[in-house]
Structure 1
Amino acid sequence: MNYQQTVDYLYQHLPMFTRVGAAALKHDLHNTLELCKLLDDPQHKFKSVHVAGTNGKGSVSHMLAAVLQQAGYKTGLYTSPHLKDFRERIKVNGQLVPESFVVEFVEQMQGAITTLAPSFFELTVAMAFHYFALEQVDIAIIETGLGGRLDSTNVIAPEVSVITNISYDHMHILGDTLPVIAAEKAGIIKQGVPVVIGETQPEVRHVFLEKARAMEAPIHFADQEWLLQESSRSPTQPGAGLQLGLVYHGQDELKHIHLDLGGQYQEKNAMTVLSTIKALQQLRWNIPEPAVREGLSHVKKLTGLRGRWEVIDTHPLTVLDVGHNEAGITEIIQQLRHTVYQQLHIVTGFVKDKAVEAVLALLPVTATYYFCRAQIPRALDEHTLAALAARYGLQGHAYPSVQEALHAARQHAHKDDLILVCGSFFVVGEVI
C-alpha cells in the first residue's frame, strides 16, 4: 500500500471515534499495552509530559513542545485529532512523521491488527510511541485523547502531568458532573510525579488535591502561581498575538511574554505552560529564559499549531477556532468582545454526540449563521442543526458542506465584517 491507501485503510478498518463515536472506545488499556509489548515497550524509552483537560490541552502541548525545542531538546509531540493530514498527530521538532514510516508501521502490525482488533486511536498511540523511541527523542509531549484514566496514552511514566481545566464534554463517556469528569482526568496523576492544574475550579479542586495526596504527587495550581498584570493585543493586527506581563508568586519581577497565538483564552494556557516549565526546571531540565520567550513567540512556526483564533483573511476578517463545547464557545464569545467588526457571520457545524443545545444557547442572536455539515458520519445534519438553532433565536441557512457555507458567508460579508468558523475540529479542518 502507498501512504494514502494506508491512511484510508486505518480510517475504514479500525473503529474510529470521529466516525462511530463511543463504540470505538475500549474500557481498559489492554490493547495499548499489548501493542506496546510487541514493539518492545517504546513508552519506557523516552521522557514525557502528559497533558489532559477539557479545553486548551492542544495549545498547551504545542507551547511546551515549542519551548523545549527552543531549549535544544529533540522533542516529540503527539496530539489529536488532526485538521488536515493524519501525520499532524505525530511530530518530532515540528516535522511530521514521514509517510514511509506510517506505511511500514501499518504493514509491520498487520498481524496484531487482525489478532487484537485495536481502535484507530490505540494503534496511532502505539505508532507515535514507537516513532519517538526510534527517533530517540529527549522528551515527548503527549496529549490525551479524551478522559485520562483509561486513555490509551496513559501507559507512560511522565516527568510532569498537566491537567488544563474541567468542563462539560463527552458526558456520555466521562460522566455528567464536573467532579466525575475531573476524576477521570485525574487518572493521569502518577506516584510521586508533579502535577500542574491549569485552572483552580472550586467544584473540582478537591478531586485533584485528594488524588495528588494519595499518589504523593506535588501539585501546582498555575493560576495561583502566576498573577497576570498586563495583557494586550494589537487592535489593528487581529492575528498579531498577545503581549503578557506576569509575576510569579512571591516575586516582584514582571515577566514579559509575547505569544504568537491571538486568542485571549491563551492567557490561562500560558500560565499552565510556565508552571509546567518551572516543574521541569526543578527536575533539572535545562530550559533557559530566552528559550521560553523564543518558544512562546514562535509556537505556530515551531510546531505547526493551527485553528486557535487563526486569522486566515482580513477583508473581511476571517477567523478559525476549534472551540466546540460550552467552555470553548464561552471563551470565543469573550474573544469577540475584544474584536472590532461591523456584522458577525458564523459558519458552524457540530457532531451528533455533543451537547449541542447547551452551546447554541451561548451563541449571539445578532449574528448571521451558515449551518453546515463536515464530511464525517458523526456530523449533525445541517437542517437538524438549523432547526435546533432556531429555538435559540439563531437565524441563517443550511448548507450541505463547509465550503459552500464559507463561500456563502464570504458572498454576504462586507469588508469590515467578521466571519468566524467554529463548532467542530472537523469543520475547521475542512476549511484548512
Structure 2
Amino acid sequence: MTRTLAEWLTYQETTNVHEIELGLDRVRNVWEAMGSPRPAPLVITVGGTNGKGSTVALLEGMLRAAGYRTGCYTSPHLVHYNERIRIDGVDAADADLVASFERIESARGTIAQTYFEFGTLAAIDLMARAGVDVAILEVGLGGRLDAVNIIDADAVVITTIDLDHQAWLGNDRDSIGREKAGIARAGQPTVVGELAPPEGLLAALRDAGAHIELAGSSYWWDVPASGPAVGTWRWLHSDGTTLDLPRPALAAPVQFANASAAIAALHALRARLHVPAAAVAEALAQVRVDGRLQRVGERPLTLVDVGHNPQAARALAEWLDAQPGDGQVLAVYGALGDKDVAGVVMALGSRVDRWFLAGLDGDTPRGLRAEALGEVFDTALPEAMRQAYPDVASAWQAAREAAGEGDTILLFGSFFVASAALTTRV
C-alpha cells in the first residue's frame, strides 16, 4: 500500500518509542544499507544554539547567487514538512519525499528510526539523487550524537552556544559547547561565530584538530552607526581580505554575526568554491527567512519570531532597543515545557508593555498552558501586565484589539507560536 506524505509522517512517529533518541549507530546502519550516499561533493554543516536557520539561508543564497546548485536541510518546519529539504531553492515535493521514505523503510529492516532520523536520511538521499554541488546541513539538536553527524563535513559553522536542551546536552555552556563541537573534523575549517564562545567549545575543537576560524580574531565585522557609510558594513579577515557590503535584509542586529560566519565559511573553502563579493552582496540584500522577525502586518506592526531561549530573547531585546518611535510593545508568547521561560521574560523585561500568554498544550504534549506561564511571571517578572489565553489565535486576537496603529505586536517563544501565527488570520 502506498502511503501519502501525511501518512508517512504519522507512521514515523510510531517507529521509535522515543521522540528524541540521540546516537549515530541506528541511523548510520540504515545509511550504510542505502549505499552510504554523500549528499554532495562539498558539505557544510551548521550547528549552534541560535542563528542556524538564518546562517543556512545566507549560505544558500550566497552559493546560489554564485551559480552553485545547493541542497539544504533544516528543522523544524513552520507550516509544511517539505520546508525541511530544499533542492536548489525549492522545497521537496511530496512525491519525492514519499519515494525516499519508501527507500529508507526498505533499507532499515527492523532498525528503529526516529522521525528526525527519517528526515535526515531523506535529505541525504534526495540531495545525492539531485546531484547538487553543495549540501548545507543544519544540526537538529546538539552535534556529536545528532543524526546529521554521520556525514563528514568539509566545513562547519557553530553559530552560538547558550543554555537549551539541557536534559540532553548539559547544564552549562562549556558542556553544551563540547557536544556541539562534535560536528567538527580534523584538519577542516570550523567557524565559531560567537565573539565570546565558551572555553569548552574551543578546547573540544582543538582536541579534534579542527582549523578554528574565530569571530573577532580570524575575522570580524564593522557596522557604522552613523555617517555616509551607515547603509553598509564591512567584513574583514586576518589574511587582509576586506568586503564592503549592503546591510542584510534580515532585520535583527545579530544577523551581522550570522552573515559574517557564513562569509567566513565560504572564505575558508575558497580553494574549492568561487563566491565573488557581488554574489555575497546579492544574497545579503535578498535573503529572508520565515519566522525571523518576519513582518505579517502593518499598523500595528506585527512580527513573528521563532526565538525560544534567553539568548534569542536578548537578540529580540537588542532589536527592540534599536527601533524608533514611542508605541507600546505587545507580546504574544507561548513556550514549551523544557524552555527557560524565566530567562526569556527577564531578558525582555520592561521592553514589553503587555504580555498575552498563549497556551501551547493543545498543539503539542510538550506545550505549556498559559496559566503555567503566568506562574513563572509571578516570580520572574511580577510587575508585568499579562493575561492568559488558551491558544495563539485567541491571544493574538486580544493583542490586536488592544493595539494602537503605532504599536508593535511581537509573536514569539516557539516554532509552534510562529506556525500558528503564519497559518492564522485575526
CA-to-aligned-CA distance 1:36-85 (integer Å, 9 cap, x gap): 12221113654210111111111111100111111111100001110010
Matched with 2:328 is: 343
Matched with 1:299 is: 287
| Pick aligned residue for 2:204 from 202, 206, 211 | 211
Count of aligned residue pairs for this structure pair? 411
Alignment of 1:173-212 (within 5 A): 173-201=168-196, 204-205=198-199, 207-212=200-205
Matched with 1:424 is: 414
> Equivalent residue of 2:223, what SS?
strand
> Equivalent residue of 2:297, what SS?
strand
Distance 1:44 1:105 in 2: 13
> Equivalent residue of 1:322, what SS?
coil
| Pick aligned residue for 1:221 from 201, 214, 218 | 214
From the superposition, tell whether residues 383 and 209 of structure 1 become closer, same or farther in structure 2 (CA, over 3 Å): closer
The alignment's C-alpha RMSD in Å is 2.2
Letter paired with 1:244: W
TM-score (norm 1): 0.89
Matched with 2:263 is: 274
Matched with 2:403 is: 413
Q: Residue 145 of structure 1 contacts residue 151 of structure 1 at CA under 8 Å; is this kept in 2?
A: yes
> Equivalent residue of 1:196, what SS?
strand
TM-score (norm 2): 0.91
Q: Residue 104 of structure 2 contacts residue 122 of structure 2 at CA under 8 Å; is this kept in 1?
A: no
Letter paired with 1:88: E
Q: Residue 166 of structure 1 contacts residue 181 of structure 1 at CA under 8 Å; is this kept in 2?
A: yes
Q: Residue 46 of structure 1 contacts residue 133 of structure 1 at CA under 8 Å; is this kept in 2?
A: no
Distance 2:417 2:219 in 1: 35
**What is the Cα deviation at residue 104 of structure 1?**
2.0
Distance 1:326 1:99 in 2: 36
Distance 2:36 2:300 in 1: 51
Alignment of 1:18-33 (within 5 A): 23-33=18-28
Q: Residue 34 of structure 2 contacts residue 104 of structure 2 at CA under 8 Å; is this kept in 1?
A: no
> Equivalent residue of 1:42, what SS?
coil
Letter paired with 1:371: L
From the superposition, tell whether residues 3 and 210 of structure 1 become closer, same or farther in structure 2 (CA, over 3 Å): closer
Alignment of 1:245-284 (within 5 A): 245-249=234-238, 251=240, 253=242, 255-281=244-270, 283-284=271-272
Letter paired with 2:349: P
> Equivalent residue of 1:82, what SS?
coil
From the superposition, tell whether residues 396 and 157 of structure 1 become closer, same or farther in structure 2 (CA, over 3 Å): same
CA-to-aligned-CA distance 1:167-206 (integer Å, 9 cap, x gap): 111111100111111100111111211111001326x23x
Q: Residue 232 of structure 1 contacts residue 243 of structure 1 at CA under 8 Å; is this kept in 2?
A: no
Q: Residue 243 of structure 1 contacts residue 259 of structure 1 at CA under 8 Å; is this kept in 2?
A: no
Confirm whether residue 317 of structure 1 aligns to residue 301 of structure 2: yes
Q: Residue 372 of structure 1 contacts residue 401 of structure 1 at CA under 8 Å; is this kept in 2?
A: yes
| Pick aligned residue for 1:82 from 77, 81, 89 | 77
CA-to-aligned-CA distance 1:361-415 (integer Å, 9 cap, x gap): 2232452111112311211111111222233123221111111111111111000
> Equivalent residue of 2:157, what SS?
strand
| Pick aligned residue for 1:401 from 381, 391, 407 | 391
Distance 1:167 1:52 in 2: 12
**What is the Cα deviation at residue 118 of structure 1?**
0.7
Alignment of 1:226-241 (within 5 A): 226-231=219-224
**What is the Cα deviation at residue 231 of structure 1?**
4.7
Distance 2:290 2:64 in 1: 18
Matched with 1:13 is: 14
Matched with 2:369 is: 381
Distance 2:123 2:298 in 1: 37
Confirm whether residue 36 of structure 1 aligns to residue 31 of structure 2: yes
Distance 2:231 2:253 in 1: 8
Distance 1:245 1:79 in 2: 28
> Equivalent residue of 2:145, what SS?
coil
CA-to-aligned-CA distance 1:242-262 (integer Å, 9 cap, x gap): 743334336485612331111
* Larger displacement relative to structure 2 (170-179 or 38-47): 38-47
**What is the Cα deviation at residue 15 of structure 1?**
4.9
Distance 2:367 2:193 in 1: 31
| Pick aligned residue for 2:120 from 117, 125, 132 | 125
> Equivalent residue of 1:68, what SS?
helix
Matched with 2:339 is: 354
Matched with 1:237 is: none
Letter paired with 1:225: S
**What is the Cα deviation at residue 109 of structure 1?**
3.4
From the superposition, tell whether residues 35 and 232 of structure 1 become closer, same or farther in structure 2 (CA, over 3 Å): farther
> Equivalent residue of 1:246, what SS?
strand
Matched with 1:68 is: 63
Letter paired with 1:298: Q
Confirm whether residue 332 of structure 1 aligns to residue 316 of structure 2: yes
Distance 1:196 1:312 in 2: 33
CA-to-aligned-CA distance 1:84-142 (integer Å, 9 cap, x gap): 10011100111011100122222333355661121101111001000000001111100
> Equivalent residue of 2:136, what SS?
strand
Alignment of 1:153-192 (within 5 A): 153-192=148-187
Matched with 1:238 is: none
- Unaligned regions of 5+ residues in structure 1, if any? 17-22, 234-240
